[in-house]
Structure 1
Amino acid sequence: MLAGLDIIFLTLSTAEFIIGMLGNVFIGLVNSSGWVKNREISLVDFILTCLEISRISQLLVSSFESFMMGLSPPFYSTHKLAKPVTLLWRITNHLSIWFTTCLSIFYLFKIAQFSHSLFLWLRWRMNRVVIAILVFSLFILLFDLLLLETFNDFFLNIHAMDESNLTLYINESKTSYIKTLVLGRLVLLSFSNIIPIVLSLTSLLLLFLSLVKHIRNLKLNSMGSRDFSMQAHKKAIKMVVSFLFLFTVHFLSIQLSNWILFLFWNNKSVKFIMLAVYIFPSGHSLILILGNSRLRQTALNVLWYLKSSLKREKPISSLQINLPEPFQ
């Protein structure tokens, strides 16, 4: 029988999974239909399609991991299901982060206005720049997985023991564990997360500088304070800021859950920290829909169609029945 905390954890995990899947599948279907219809795909649609595929895969892996931890934590660790699941999750999470970073870079080259020769050279070769970044990320992923293999073995060997042996093992190897874990986490952080953060922060800074420059030019030319370029700048800045905020929550929740789950594996309440991991793949898809005019309009059309369909098919219980006056 499942405990109350397990039921709540699985319910919340399922709800976040459904919300994330609806948003990501919707974006994937819209971009795929446009690709089939036009028989060509733009760079931004390619990035979005790959991003949604990686996030759908990430949500599936995360959902499986949540159910295994909620239904049978001993089975999850004893049969070493955690190792392949963690590997798959790491791959999908890595791809999701880097595709989102490429989206931030696309906003920069598409919207920002700079006359520097290097910026113009990179803008003219924007497709090649994005491909080069993705290839570079694959090398980082390979190195990341090699380090992760070591940590998975260490983690599973500890939690395969019973509680008394676990306490004894931690006390005997505390110093060695802390040194190894801290060093490994710093390496993984540097290669897997710092580089995307730096690239996104750079895109955000350059977009902001471009916006300031654009506003100054408008004032000098006595033009209006609002135009399409300014709105595009502001929208791109909001998208990049939302990505950085959600990614920060995502990253901190992963680090916190790794530490707490290692120290308190049998404590069921700490699993709720993992629910924050869903925020990035689920919440960011909704932000992408609201920030993209085509996706937003398509979503509104779908909602209007569903609302119209529900109105046309009223259930019997919703029909008004004229009763005699005493019964009204």
Structure 2
Amino acid sequence: MSREHTVPDSLVIDQKAVVFAIILLFLFLVAVLGNGFITAVLGMEWLLRRTLLPCDKLLISLAASRFCLQWVLLCRNIYIFLHPTAFLYSPVLQFIAFQWDFLNAATLWFSTWLSVFYCVKIATFTHPVFLWLKHKLSGWVPWMLLSSVGLSSFSTILFFIGNQRIYQNNLRSNLLNVTRESIRSSCEKFYLFPLKMVTWTVPTAVFFICVTLLITSLGRHVKKSLLTISGFQEPRTQAHIKALLTLISFAILFLSYFLSLVLSAARIIPSWALRFWVWHTVIYLCMAVHPIILLLSNSRLRAVLQKSCFLRCGAP
């Protein structure tokens, strides 16, 4: 078993890791409540009305995938916290990794398609192709969702093949640890890591292209409105400024989440180190803050939340 994937028996987890574990638990509760609320509200609307706006279909898919991802990530962190010497490709962690890889890829794709939808529907570009996409995009939402599931399933199967190969080589190998380490490192460096980079970078690149286009379009409109005397006080200008701030915050959170995944996949931080818990705190923070932003920026969700809080506070 590789030394990089295990901890010496005499090593005790730093007490600071316990503090970060408590922070992770708090962020987990925030993320679960936020994503669960979005999923429940839009799910009830979909169930009662038998239909849902295309944008809300993407939104509920993103919230549901993040809701499930939170539980998988919590189970993984609890297992690693309780078994810091566990082999990272053991059957238990492979089972958790299978769910983690699928939900993580689906979350990235749902976020990307949501940015594509916002970009095409909100941006004010006048190119004929852009106008054609604006007219056709709503009908493509079901295909966006199916493609997200399909691409996520395909990449997850490829990840599982690599994980299983490392585990089987570890079981069959009777060679020295150095040789066994080279076998594991070879599979990780030349198969798993490049595959993960491609899987994650493609939706991330599309996401930032769409966000950049949308920020450019909104920025031009806000700049034009601010040239007038009362431009800043116009409701439409204020709405665009609010949308700009929301997009920028979403992009920052998305980038932080992507970088955290890359560092985790690079295996440069052992699971028993304090930095491991710091980076997982960043992942949890990104998934906890964004549903709050979505709740505050969506008027219907915000109204339901305010109504729920009013009824709860007014109840005897």
| TM-score, scaled to structure 1 | 0.77
Q: What is the CA-CA distance between 1:58 and the residue it aligns to?
A: 0.6
Superposed, 1:173-252 pairs within 5 Å as 173=182, 177=185, 181-182=189-190, 184-190=192-198, 192-215=199-222, 218=225, 224-252=231-259
Aligned match of 1:145? 156
Aligned match of 2:8? none
Residue type of the alignment partner of 1:23? G
Residue type of the alignment partner of 1:186? P
Deviations 1:212-236 (A, max 9, x none): 4435665899874454443443333
Deviations 1:58-102 (A, max 9, x none): 111111111111122456758511112101111111111111112
Q: What is the CA-CA distance between 1:22 and the residue it aligns to?
A: 0.6
Distance 1:78 1:249 in 2: 26
Deviations 1:108-167 (A, max 9, x none): 222222222111111111123434444444453344224312431355468779xx9645
Deviations 1:247-278 (A, max 9, x none): 222222222233347x745x353441323222
**Greater gyration radius:** 1
- Partner-residue secondary structure (3-state), 2:249: helix
Identical residues among aligned pairs (%): 25
The 8 Å contact of residues 250 and 280 in structure 1, kept in 2 or not, is answered as yes
Q: Which of 47, 68, 76 lines up with 1:65 in the alignment?
A: 76
More moved, 230-239 vs 107-116: 230-239
More moved, 88-97 vs 76-85: 76-85
Q: Do structure 1's residue 93 and structure 2's residue 104 form an aligned pair?
A: yes
Distance 1:219 1:70 in 2: 53
Q: Which of 254, 258, 261 lines up with 2:261 in the alignment?
A: 254
- Partner-residue secondary structure (3-state), 2:164: helix
Distance 2:286 2:253 in 1: 5
Deviations 1:185-237 (A, max 9, x none): 234322x2222222222222222332244356658998744544434433333
- Partner-residue secondary structure (3-state), 1:65: helix
Q: 1:208 to 1:270 in 2, by over 3 A?
A: closer
Aligned match of 2:93? 82
Distance 1:212 1:8 in 2: 41
- Partner-residue secondary structure (3-state), 1:125: helix
Q: What is the CA-CA distance between 1:41 and the residue it aligns to?
A: 1.1
| TM-score, scaled to structure 2 | 0.79
Distance 1:95 1:89 in 2: 10
Residue type of the alignment partner of 1:277? I
Residue type of the alignment partner of 1:40? T
Higher relative contact order (CA 8 A, sep 6+): 2
Structure 1 runs not aligned, ≥5 long: 313-328
Distance 1:301 1:217 in 2: 37
The 8 Å contact of residues 110 and 148 in structure 2, kept in 1 or not, is answered as no
Residue type of the alignment partner of 1:185? F
Structure 2 runs not aligned, ≥5 long: 1-11
Residue type of the alignment partner of 2:307? N
Distance 1:255 1:220 in 2: 43
